[in-house]
Chains A and B, each alone.
Chain A
Amino acid sequence: MSAVAIEGVWKFYGDYPALRDVRLEAERGACLALIGRNGAGKTTLLRVVAGFSRPGRGKVQIFGNEPRETETRRQMGFIGHGISVYDELSAFENLMLYAKLYNLPNPKKSAMEWLERTGLERVRNGLVREFSRGMRQRLAVARAFLHEPTVLLLDEPFTALDDKAITVLQKLLKEALAAGKTIVMSTHQLREALELATHVALLNRGQVAFHGPRTPEMVSDPGYVYARYGEG
């Protein structure tokens, strides 16, 4: 059974098909990099996979279950364009909030552990609105990994990260892959993404233009997939 199975998914905004018959799969332990120009449908696809919006046609399954099922949501971690943490709460309060919502056995211990892993333990009681951008991004990473998800959905995770946050995220993603977790990420940062990816899918105007294993050519020349399979 695939960890993530996208079967003939269409998504319409009004009459416009943002996704057209998308079929993709990611096995357990795979890292699928979704690439494509702006407006290709990467974010829409990730939102459908995460269960934030329902497809017009087709279906998405996470380990054979619907994305909106409670148990499926417990297995998923999502990093979107926003950091999804509250400016008015402290770093610790934010992680405690999500630890409680995910019903973790020891919310305080999990929150403290992830504050340490992301280098935020010294500012744990500081309000997020007082944090630098890099610190906020690291907290967002801690928030997404807090409940040890088995499927990670990342929408342009490296965008606007500082060096430290990129290092933290890459380390965590490598550890996640080594632990057999599945990653689906959309990205424009091809070099960072292709370093991690086991598979690549190129989206073009809502359709899959290419889907296959990552090859050495892709790593040595990040523009290879666009040049070979893209539309100019």
Chain B
Amino acid sequence: MGFFRQALVITVKDLRAEIRTKEAINASFAFALVILVLFSFAFDPLEDTTRDISGGLLWIVFAFAGTLILNRSFARELPNDCLDALIAAPISGAALFLGKSVANYLLLLAVELVSLPVFGIFYNVRWTTQFWQLMLVLVLGTWGLTLIGTFCSALTVNIRLREVMLPMLTYPALVPVLMGSMQLTMTLMAGKPIGPDMVPWLKLLAGFDLVFTAASLVLVEIVLVG
């Protein structure tokens, strides 16, 4: 079976399990909603400065809520020692990682897409003005977030304090992705398109995604087997 078909089998398995239990997605969406509401109390939605920083707030919400999905990714394999069976199966660690990353990515995108209208209402932001460019930033930024989070989930899967360790490892590594995503989102939320001054941030996001996709696929076998 080809590499991508193996990854697809893992993606389908993870999504099916998540759709049945809704453990991670419910928790993640509820958490995103709560933070959005709390932040709206802290910042006056009618002030211009709030709208200026709203893109940053949005990505902080995505990063926090995303951790709940990412933390479950490899932890889901622990209860019945399923990770052993996956490692024993004749599939590469890279296919396993890619399959899990794609499942996490779709779940995270779903949470983000549901959170966006809520965000628009609470922060009085017209987020649809530059809709397709915003989707591009979302797609690139979320893939970066997913990659780092899934990799760290694999890294911490056998650690007793993995819930603590995962954010500690993930957030510092996410700085470039979050910086790029925040800068671009803030511009788009202000109703401006991505101009030449913003293209370097877009390149940073795309470059980060490419480099970390390659690096994660190469390194994950060592992480899983040692």
Contacts and interface: CB of A to CB of B under 8 A. Distances in A.
Interface string A56-72: 00000000000010110
Contact of B84 (A68, A80, A86, A102): A80
Given A73-B88, A88-B20, A101-B6, A83 B81 contact: yes
Q: By CB atoms of chain A within 10 A, which of B13, B86, B87, B89 has the most?
A: B89
B21 A78 contact: no
Contacts of B20: 88-89, 127
A51 B84 CA distance: 10
Given A88-B20, A88-B21, A52 B82 contact: no
Interface in A5-55: 50-54
Tell me the interface secondary structure of chain A in the complex: loop
Given A82-B80, A82-B82, A52 B1 contact: no
A127 B17 CA distance: 11
Q: By CB atoms of chain B within 10 A, which of A53, A87, A143 has the most?
A: A87
Interface residues of A, number: 31
Nearest to B12: A97
A63 to B, nearest CB: 14
B215 interface: no
Nearest to B9: A100
B192 interface: no
A74 B79 contact: no
Tell me the interface secondary structure of chain B in the complex: helix
Interface string A109-120: 000000000000
Contacts of A71: 90
Given A53-B226, A74-B90, A93-B16, A98 B79 contact: no
Nearest to B221: A68
Given A86-B17, A101-B6, A101-B90, 14 more contacts: A50-B84, A50-B88, A68-B225, A70-B92, A73-B90, A76-B88, A78-B85, A80-B84, A84-B85, A85-B85, A86-B13, A86-B80, A101-B86, A127-B20
Interface of A: 50-54, 68, 70-71, 73-74, 76, 78, 80-89, 93, 97-98, 100-103, 127, 143
23 contacts: A50-B88, A51-B225, A52-B88, A53-B226, A73-B90, A74-B90, A78-B85, A82-B79, A82-B81, A83-B81, A84-B82, A84-B84, A86-B13, A86-B80, A86-B82, A87-B79, A88-B16, A89-B17, A89-B20, A98-B85, A100-B9, A101-B1, A102-B89
The 5 closest A-B pairs by CB, nearest first: A82-B81, A84-B85, A88-B17, A103-B1, A73-B90
